Amino acid sequence: WHHLASCTIKVQKCNMSDQYRGKVIVAPMVRVCTLPFRLLTVDYGTDLVYTEETVDYKMLRSIKRQNDVLGTVDFIDKSDGTVFFRTCERERSKVIFQIGTNDAQRALKVGKMVEPYVAGLDVNMGCPKEFSLKGGMGAALLTQPDKIKSILTTLVQGLTIPVTCKIRILDSLPETLELCKLIEECGVAAIGVHGRTRQERPRHPNHNDVIREIAKVLTIPVIANGGSREISRHDDIKKFQQDTGASSVMIARAAMWNCSILRPEGFLPLDTVIEQYLRYCIQYDNPFTYSKYTVQNMLRELQDTPRGKAFLETQTLQEISIIWGLEDYFKTQLAKQNEGRKSLNFEMSE
C-alpha cells in the first residue's frame, strides 16, 4: 500500500509538471501583472501568466470578497480596501500566483487562500531589491537551503495546486546546480531560472549557458527567463528556448513593451495594444498609478512625442482614456458599474 501511495503521488506530480512543459509564460512583474494586463496576455495567446509578487503578510491581512459588480474575486486590505489580488474565472486555468515569503507556515496559509482561484503558486527567490532582502525574501532565500526546503516541502505537501519557484543563478555553476537539485528534491512541479546573478542588472547578458546546464541535470521542467534583450519578435521566443535547452520560456520586459509579441500571427500596432489594455483597466477598475506605470513602460521613447508628453501629465484613468479615444467607453463602463453597485445595495437593503 505504501508503495502504491507513493507511486500515485509521483504520477500526480508528473501531471502537475506538464503544465510547465513546452510553454510560453509571462513573468511576474510588480504593478504590471494585475488582472487587466494578465487578461490581455491571455487574449494574445500566453499559456500561463504570473501575478505581480504579493508579500505573504499583506495577503494574510486581507479579506476575500466576491465582487458581483465586476465579476471578480478580490482579496482586499481589511483596513483601507486596497486590492491585493483581483481575479476572475476567465484566467483561472492560466494564472500563477507569486508570493514573497520567508516563512513556510505563512506561505502555506496564503497558498490555501488562493488555491481555489489559481493554476499554481510560485515562490519568488530572485528579487534583489533591498525591501525583499531585508525581509529575508526573494534572492535572500538562495543562500538559505534549509529555509528553501522548509518552505517548498510545506507547500508541496499542503497544496493541491502545482508549486514552483523562480530563482536567479549563483556565482558558480556547481553552486547553482546544487541549489537546483535541492529545489527539485522538494517536489516542485517546475523551476523558473533567471540567468543572472543577484548582483547583475538587466543590461548584463543573460547566462543562457548556465540555464542549459541546469536543464541537463534536472528532470522537472526548467523555465528559462532573462532573454528579453534577445527577444524582439515572436520567433525569438523559440530561439531562446533552444539556446537555453529549457522546457519553457518566461518573458517579462519584452511582453511589457509590446505584449502582442505573444501572438504567433505577429505584432499588433502599439496603439491597439494600449487601447485594449486600457479597456481592461477601465472594466476592472485598475488603480490609476499601476495603469499609468504600465502604459509608460509600453510607450518608452514615445514619451517624448507630443502625445507622450500629454500622457505624462495625466492624473486619472479617465484622462488617459481620452488620449486613446476611450472617453465614451469610460463613461458607459462607469455608469454600468455605478448601476450595478446601486442595485446590489438595493438587494442587500431589501
Judged by CB under 6 A, the stretch of 24-32, 74-82, 89-97, 327-335 that binds ligand FNR is 24-32
Decide: 265 and 233 in contact? Cβ < 8 Å.
Answer: no
Residue in 25, 26, 29, 156 binding ligand FNR, rule: CB under 6 A: 29
Q: Is 231 helix (H, G, I), strand (E, B) or coil?
A: coil
Rounded CA separation 304/302 (Å) = 5
Nearer Cβ to ligand FNR (32/169): 32
The verdict on 52 binding ligand FNR (CB under 6 A) reads yes
Polymer length of the chain: 350
Residue in 197, 226, 298, 299 binding ligand FNR, rule: CB under 6 A: 226
* Residue 344 Cβ vs ligand FNR, minimum distance, rounded to whole Å: 33
| Residue reference for cell 526546503 | 149
The verdict on 98 binding ligand FNR (CB under 6 A) reads yes
Give the footprint of ligand FNR on residues 288-347 (CB under 6 A). Answer: none
The neighbour count for residue 3, using CB atoms within 10 Å, is: 7
Nearer Cβ to ligand FNR (251/326): 251
Rounded CA separation 119/104 (Å) = 20
Name the E strands within 78-130. Answer: 83-87, 95-100, 120-125
Residue in 13, 21, 30, 268 binding ligand FNR, rule: CB under 6 A: 30
168 Cβ contact list (under 8 Å, min separation 6) = 125, 126, 128, 139, 142, 193, 194, 196, 197, 198
Question: What's CA 245's distance to the chain center, in Å?
Answer: 23
The verdict on 120 binding ligand FNR (CB under 6 A) reads no
Which residues lie across from 50 on neighbouring strands?
96
Residue in 38, 86, 94, 194 binding ligand FNR, rule: CB under 6 A: 194
Active site includes 127? Answer: yes
The verdict on 225 binding ligand FNR (CB under 6 A) reads yes
The verdict on 162 binding ligand FNR (CB under 6 A) reads no
Nearer Cβ to ligand FNR (71/202): 202
DSSP state for residue 305 in the 8-state scheme: S
The verdict on 251 binding ligand FNR (CB under 6 A) reads yes
Amino acid in position 324: W
Question: What's CA 249's distance to the chain center, in Å?
Answer: 13
Residues that bind ligand FNR (CB under 6 A): 27-30, 32, 52-53, 98, 124, 126-127, 166, 194, 202, 225-228, 251-254
